[in-house]
Structures are given as structure tokens and as C-alpha cells.
């Protein structure tokens, strides 16, 4: 196996050189910062630092920056994160708007509903649901390609008057590839003469068997514009969420995914992030993609300023050094020095990947550490 210097290994883990030297010493290996160690030893050190060696794919290996895994007792229930997909004009936007209006928590004075790429509603029983509101398939594919398991389930909208169409099939494929369950919303049932039964038959051809035909895919007939059966759709989502038993540890440094970002004239870089683990706090120092900064302000989709954002809550954050990309991981870190290190690590990794893609060589763990 090829070798890596202690300093380089420290850089790649965004750790201090001295700490790596000490870890090696505890493992019985004497090495200075400029000396090289082999890849096997390097991997042990990586694990020693509590980083997971993530094998994203055969040719794409990265050293994860996450800390230790949460144990069962750390975990608490979290709201489901739902993505609505379907063919163009089948009513995705209308359904998102209609569902948003079912929120039982009244807007507080001063709060202005804003589009931040995702929103969370409270349903009558007090439970919450988060909807990802980014333009469909491309965002979903981009996030999945980056390994960001953002969504817990997909609501597949199929217009009863149009039936299964190419983007319906594509959405089914996306959901299957991501391994997330589907709920079918047969929309526009208010239209005269529509035949929702036909949709069920068409779905059969794509191995989606709805419950009324003896399968296990929930299917609800709705009208987004006439607001028919929205409560049933929300119940179906809650039921699916219960089956999935969704949990996260709220008591740790926040980690999640960038949903959307932009450069705002007045406010600077603005990112909407979905908190997936831990609680994000105003004032936290975060790294988002290769950008970093202190969370100066945090707003929800109702324009309210928040001090804390628990798992499954999408929030807009201000204070980053630049604009990260949708699908980028974000993570709260202990201090600015660490943020710089992680940011540099990620920039270097991005450069390495670009170089590797340009070159002939195929990356593996040994190559990456070499
Ligand atoms: P998207 O492209 O999937 O986001 O579809 P839209 O939400 O933009 O809806 C496309 C068109 O279908 C619009 O003219 C909507 O008013 C209409 N539409 C959406 N839902 C319904 C519905 O439940 N009933 C009827 N009659 N029209 C609907
Ligand atoms: Mg739309």
C-alpha cells in the first residue's frame, strides 16, 4: 500500500497534526508530521478519530466527518420529510400550496410566508410534516447523487384525467432507486368524467400495487384545487411515518443537507438547510459544502426568527461566507478554526475529485490516502 504523511492525513481529516502524532504514538507508531505512514495504519487512525471511512461507491471514497453513531437512547421521534413528485401539470404545485394551507398553527404577527424550498406544517393531531418544495426530479436526483437521503417518502401525484405519463414513471424509478416508499395521490378527481380506477391499472404496469387492488401502496383520491381529501392524504403520510419509525438525536451538533441557496443583495449568502440530526442553534458555527460561517440569523418558512431548529425542520440561515450547492452536507462545528479546517478539507477533496476525474486513475482508499 502507498503512504501518506502524517500532516497530510491530519489535513484530510481536518484534525490537528499534533493530535494525529499522539494517536499514532498510542498505537505504538513513532512518526513526525513529515514522516509517512502506510494506508492501513492511516485507516486505523481515521477510525480512531471517530470518522467513518465512507465507501460511497467503489471509485469514490471519502472520510466522513460525522462523529460517533447515536445509540437508541439518544434517539427521539422526528417528523417525516416528504417530497411531492409527478408529471408536469398533474398538480404538484397546487397540492403543495393546498397542504401548506392546512397548517393549524396560525401565522404569528409579523411573519410572512416565504418560499424557502421546504416548509413544515402542523396537522390537527399536533404532529408535524415537512414538505420539500424544490422543483421536482432534478433536485431529487442531485441530492441523491450526493448521498443526501433527504426524503423519507414520496407522494406521487397522478392526474386522474391524464393517467400515468413519462415523468410519473421517472418518479417511480427515483423512489425505487432511493428505497423510499411511495404514496399515490390521484389528483383532479373533481373533474367531470375522470376515472381514477384507470390510474390504478396503469400503475400496475410499473409494479405499483395500490391497497384497493391488494397491494401495500397507499392511494388517496384528492383534489388540490377543491381541497378534497387533503386530511386523508395527511393521515396516509402519518401512517407511513409510523411504519418507518423515524428518529434522530436532537441533542448533538447539527448536521443536515442544503436544500436551496442564493446570493441575496441585502442579506448576502442565504441557504435553506434541512436539519437531519441534532439541533441547529443561532450563533452556531457551520460548514455548508465548502462554505462556512456563524449562523447570524435563522428563519423558518413563516419568516419567524428561530433560536433552535430541531431534526426535520427546514430553516433559512444567514451568515455563510459563500453560496453552497443544493445537496451539500452541512455540519455545525465547535469553533472557527475547525470550520476553516473542514472547509479547506472539502475544497481540497473537491479539487482532488476534479483532478481524479480528469486523469486516468481510478480512486480507491489507497489512492486517496496516498
Ligand atoms: P404541476 O406542474 O404538477 O406543479 O401542476 P400545477 O399545480 O401547476 O397544476 C397544473 C394545472 O392543473 C393548473 O392549472 C391547476 O390549477 C390545475 N389543477 C391542479 N390540481 C387540480 C385539481 O385538483 N383539480 C383541477 N380541476 N385542476 C387542478
Ligand atoms: Mg409546479
Return the top range by mean pLDDT from 60-64, 99-103, 344-348.
99-103
Q: CB-based contacts of 72: which residues, under 8 Å, 6+ apart?
A: none
Query: How many angstroms separate the alpha carbon of residue 130 from the centre of ligand 1?
Result: 21
Query: How many angstroms separate the alpha carbon of residue 92 from the centre of ligand 2?
Result: 5
Is the pLDDT confidence value at 182 over 70?
Answer: yes
Q: CB-based contacts of 5: which residues, under 8 Å, 6+ apart?
A: 33, 34, 35, 36, 37
Indicate whether this complex's ipTM tops 0.85: yes
Atom of ligand 1 nearest to the CA of 223: 23
- CA dist 216 and 227 (Å) reads 25
pLDDT at 68: 53
Atom of ligand 1 nearest to the CA of 222: 23
pLDDT at 357: 67
Is the pLDDT confidence value at 67 over 70?
Answer: no
- For 221-247, write each residue's pLDDT tens digit: 999 999 999 999 999 999 999 999 999
Q: Is 133 annotated as a binding residue?
A: yes
More confident residue, 3 or 299: 299
304 class by beta-carbon count within 10 Å (0-12 exposed, 13-18 middle, 19+ buried): middle
Integer CA distances (angstroms), 145 to 81, 148, 177, 206, 326, in order: 18, 7, 11, 23, 11
Q: Is 115 annotated as a binding residue?
A: no
Q: Is 137 annotated as a binding residue?
A: yes
Integer CA distances (angstroms), 192 to 93, 139, 160, 189, in order: 21, 34, 10, 8
Q: CB-based contacts of 30: which residues, under 8 Å, 6+ apart?
A: 24
The three-state secondary structure class of 61 is strand
Tell the residue nearest (CA) to atom 9 of ligand 1.
Answer: 91
Q: Is 135 annotated as a binding residue?
A: yes
- CA dist 72 and 37 (Å) reads 36
CB 176 within 8 A of CB 258: no
- Rounded to the nearest integer, the mean pLDDT of the chain is 85
Query: How many angstroms separate the alpha carbon of residue 223 from the centre of ligand 1?
Result: 9
Of the candidate ranges 142-151, 195-204, 248-257, 301-310, the one whose mean pLDDT is the lowest: 142-151
CA angle 260, 324, 261 (to 5 degrees): 25
In this structure, how many other beta carbons lie within 10 angstroms of the beta carbon of residue 136? 21
Residue 83 CA from chain centroid, whole number: 11
Is the pLDDT confidence value at 157 over 50?
Answer: yes
Task: Name residues contacting ligand 1 (CB within 6 A).
Answer: 86, 88-94, 187-188, 190-191, 223-226
Query: How many angstroms separate the alpha carbon of residue 188 from the centre of ligand 1?
Result: 7
- CA dist 245 and 368 (Å) reads 37
Is the pLDDT confidence value at 364 over 80?
Answer: no
Amino acid at each position: 500500500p502507498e503512504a501518506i504523511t502524517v500532516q497530510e492525513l491530519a489535513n484530510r481529516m481536518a484534525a490537528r497534526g499534533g493530535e494525529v502524532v499522539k494517536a499514532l504514538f498510542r498505537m505504538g507508531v513513532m512518526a513526525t508530521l513529515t514522516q509517512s505512514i502506510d494506508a492501513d495504519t492511516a485507516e486505523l487512525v481515521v477510525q480512531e478519530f471517530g470518522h467513518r471511512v465512507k465507501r460511497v461507491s467503489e471509485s469514490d471514497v471519502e472520510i466522513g466527518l460525522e462523529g460517533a453513531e447515536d445509540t437508541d437512547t439518544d434517539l427521539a421521534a422526528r417528523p417525516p420529510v416528504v417530497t411531492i413528485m409527478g408529471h408536469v401539470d398533474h398538480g404538484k404545485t397546487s397540492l403543495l400550496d393546498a397542504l401548506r394551507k392546512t397548517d393549524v398553527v396560525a401565522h404569528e404577527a409579523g411573519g410572512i410566508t416565504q418560499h424557502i424550498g421546504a416548509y413544515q406544517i402542523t396537522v390537527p393531531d399536533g404532529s408535524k410534516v415537512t414538505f420539500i418544495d424544490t422543483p421536482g426530479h432534478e433536485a431529487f436526483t442531485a441530492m441523491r447523487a450526493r448521498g443526501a437521503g433527504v426524503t423519507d417518502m414520496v407522494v406521487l401525484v397522478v392526474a386522474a384525467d391524464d393517467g400515468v405519463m413519462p415523468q410519473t414513471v421517472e418518479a417511480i424509478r427515483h423512489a425505487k432507486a432511493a428505497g423510499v416508499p411511495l404514496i399515490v395521490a390521484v389528483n383532479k378527481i373533481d373533474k367531470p368524467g375522470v376515472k381514477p380506477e384507470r390510474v390504478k391499472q396503469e400503475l400496475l404496469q410499473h409494479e405499483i400495487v395500490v391497497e384497493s387492488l391488494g397491494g401495500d401502496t397507499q392511494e388517496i383520491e384528492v383534489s388540490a384545487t377543491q381541497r378534497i381529501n387533503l386530511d386523508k392524504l395527511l393521515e396516509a403520510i402519518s401512517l407511513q411515518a409510523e411504519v418507518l419509525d423515524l428518529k434522530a438525536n436532537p441533542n448533538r451538533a447539527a448536521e443536515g443537507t442544503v436544500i436551496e441557496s442564493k446570493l441575496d443583495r441585502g442579506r448576502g449568502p442565504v441557504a435553506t438547510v434541512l436539519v437531519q440530526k441534532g439541533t441547529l442553534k443561532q450563533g452556531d458555527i457551520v460548514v455548508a459544502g465548502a462554505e462556512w460561517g456563524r449562523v447570524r440569523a435563522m428563519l423558518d418558512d413563516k419568516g419567524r426568527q428561530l433560536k433552535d431548529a430541531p431534526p426535520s425542520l427546514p430553516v433559512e440561515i444567514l451568515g455563510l461566507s459563500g453560496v453552497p450547492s443544493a445537496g451539500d452536507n452541512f455540519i455545525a462545528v465547535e469553533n472557527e478554526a475547525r470550520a476553516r479546517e473542514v472547509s479547506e478539507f472539502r475544497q481540497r477533496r473537491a479539487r482532488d475529485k476534479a483532478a481524479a476525474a480528469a486523469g486516468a486513475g481510478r480512486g480507491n482508499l489507497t489512492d486517496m490516502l496516498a
